[in-house]
Amino acid sequence: MQRRIRKHRIKPYRREQYEGNREKLPGRCVEKLFHAAGSMFIDALFPPRCAVCGMILPLKEKMICRKCAADLPYVGSTYCLKCGKPIDSTEREYCSDCETHPHRYEEGRAALLYEKGARRAIDRLKFYNRRESVPFFGVCLNKLAAEYFPRWKPDCLVPVPMHPKKRAERGFDQAALLAEELGRRTGVEVREDLLVRQRYTGASKKLGRASRRKNLRGVFAVDDDADIPFSVVLIDDIYTTGATMDEAGYALQKAGVRHVFFLTVCIGRGQT
């Protein structure tokens, strides 16, 4: 008896079958392999370093080493409902600063206290151009954004700008870098064109409250040709007395912005 041989029809390759899952395309797999190999090569030449201490990161540790992560001074659960500064009592809603001085913003938050490793990391970024800390700071800001953006509903992120002369001296603007990183993570538009610093000011780090406010009075303005958003979030590296945020908020509100909030990486404890 002759045995019948079943013929199997070979189905032709159809690209449309893979359009829904491009990872299955051979070229895509090769591309991912080359990308991974390239990343390993770059890491071998320029090993990633901890954003805080600057030491080379061990394998499986990203952005920040385990030791620095355990020592970071995060803002605790009791903080001012206006500016986000830590307060000692759970019975108080506002810090003494916000109780006695009105601000030109509605609300603001910071991720870390400006001390210990956080202070070193900020100083390394600003004064030594150590930009490897920016992604880590972006993660810190993004955690705040996930909590507050659903309520704030910002139209855009506005970095607190440097004067062009100071930006040229430093070579970069750390607030702009932080805003770009947060914008990439959240999808919120970054508007560097909106707020301008129209007067060069000296460092206000060692100035008291009154001197800071006098030094910064009228320093910001909004571009006359800019489209004015409804709600903005100011982005900066440090919040201390709030003088910078107040002046920036005043300029934005004067131009027609209805809601001004802020996020910073670090915040100080005291009033001065």
pLDDT at 59: 80
What single-letter DSSP state applies at residue 49? B
pLDDT at residue 78, rounded to an integer = 93
Q: Which domains does the chain have, with CATH numbers?
A: 27-67 (no CATH), 72-267 (3.40.50)
Intervals of the chain under pLDDT 70 = 1-46, 202-209, 270-272
For residues 231 and 154, is the Cβ–Cβ distance under 8 A? yes
Give the DSSP per-residue string, 202-237: ---TT--HHHHHHHHTT-EEE-TTSPPPSEEEEEEE
At 47-92, the pLDDT tens digits run 888 988 888 998 878 889 999 999 999 999 999 999 999 998 888 9
Average pLDDT over the chain reads 84
Between CA 219 and CA 167 the distance in angstroms is 15
Residue 204 near residue 211 (C-beta atoms within 8 A):
yes
The pLDDT of residue 86 is: 94
Residue 79: strand, helix, or coil? strand
Report the alpha-carbon distance of residue 19 to residue 25 in Å, rounded: 9
Give how far the C-alpha of residue 65 lies from the chain's centroid of Cα atoms, to the nearest Å. Answer: 20
Quote the pLDDT of residue 221: 96
Which of 258, 266, 198 is closest to 235 using CA atoms?
Answer: 266
